[in-house]
Structure 1
Amino acid sequence: MADSLRDLLLKSGIVKQLHDSKPKPPPQSSRSAYKGKGAKPAHSGGKPHQSQNKNTSRPPSKDQSEIDLAKAYAIRAQTEASERKRVEQEAAEQARLRRERKLKIQQLLEGKTLNKPDADQPRNFEYGGKIRRVHVDAAQLAALNAGELGVVQQAGRYFLVSREVAEQVRAIDAHQLALLVEPGSGGMADDGVPDDLMW
């Protein structure tokens, strides 16, 4: 009984097994390195090897997400630029068409306006949400209220013209026709106010 517990354990080999409990990796020979297609790697009782623990559904790396974000921003910037260009082209086309219409109306009105410098009667009418005024004489006022004459707006001025010219202006650009009373309305506007009312 002189032997201590430690000595007894060493003699029996248990202590050695406790100290060497870590398994040694098996030696790899050139034969065991290649096991062929479809062969599973040998699995020892320890932790699985790093390559066996790969997760194929992990999120993309930081570099990949930055590349995707940069692509998205580039696509968005390109889309916005093309949309801006398309809007600018449409605006330029609309401006060109407006200029052409104004030029046609200006050519149409040359020598056909009936405004008189000595006309003293104002004829008020609504145009563009505001009350506008053109000066006429008594005969022109009667003809304007009967629908025989019309008023055309051009370059900020109001021109008295014949009904035929007013109809041609309406065909080119209806917005430029400021006043044209429908014949047979009896000189009354839609609101029941006489057209020749002086206010």
Structure 2
Amino acid sequence: MADSLRDQLLKSGIVKQVREEKRQTQPQGGKGAPPKGGGGRHGGKSQQQGRPSAPAAKKPSGEMDLAMAYAIRAQTEATERKRAEQEAQEQARIKREQKQKIQQLLQGKALNKNDVEQVRHFEYGGKIRRVHVDAEQLAAINTGELGVVQIGGRYLIVSREIATQVREIDAHQLALLVDPNASGVGDDGVPDDLIW
């Protein structure tokens, strides 16, 4: 895996390949001269493997060793991760503020009634939803005089004015608001999106 990362770093230009790295570790002497530390062919290698690599100062400027590339990559990933976390926290804060504003706006303004038997179906969030209404509310929803807002898993019937204010704060919370000028309203005043 280290080789594949090295290859990637080489291709990206972050690391320039050092040609003939063995020449840097061997003395400038003749071909057959044993490396410092002597001991023959295998003795020199085993001693050299335990030693740290040559300091970066000895490498020509512009070349970067693999460890430095790893460090830069780790730092970049950490910075990106931190930025993503900060953005997520900011989005969560904005959502909380929007929800709080909507809850304050809706306080005491919901027009839902108990003991009503009619149901108005509508599409919201990719699914068919429903809200219980009386005949008067059904007609008002179908003409756009009333709207439906989703908050806390409940669907609240509200006036058009409140529904448009909710849409301005967070359009995703507005579940249903019929546009009376839209071409989807039939001659009978019932919107074409009315499923049942």
Q: Is this a same-fold pair by TM over 0.5?
A: yes
What are structure 2's unaligned runs of at least 5 residues? 1-27, 31-51, 57-63
CA RMSD after TM alignment: 2.6
Match of 1:63 among 49, 53, 59: 53
Secondary structure of the equivalent of 2:150?
Answer: strand
Distance change (3 Å), C-alpha of 1:195 and 1:68: closer
Count of aligned pairs: 138
2:71 equivalent in structure 1: 74
In structure 2, distance between residues paired with 1:119 and 1:82: 56
1:134 equivalent in structure 2: 131
Deviation at 1:188, TM superposition (A): 2.8
> For the pair shown, which has the larger CA radius of gyration, 1 or 2?
1
Give per-residue Cα distances to partners, 1:109-143, cap 9 Å, x unaligned: 00000000112111000001000000000000000
Distance change (3 Å), C-alpha of 1:126 and 1:77: same
In structure 1, distance between residues paired with 2:175 and 2:109: 16
2:108 equivalent in structure 1: 111
Equivalences for residues 9-158 of structure 1 within 5 A: 50=29, 63-64=53-54, 68-158=65-155
What are structure 1's unaligned runs of at least 5 residues? 1-48, 52-61
Secondary structure of the equivalent of 2:147?
Answer: strand
Give per-residue Cα distances to partners, 1:74-106, cap 9 Å, x unaligned: 111111001000000000000000000000000
In structure 2, distance between residues paired with 1:185 and 1:72: 59
Distance change (3 Å), C-alpha of 1:187 and 1:69: closer
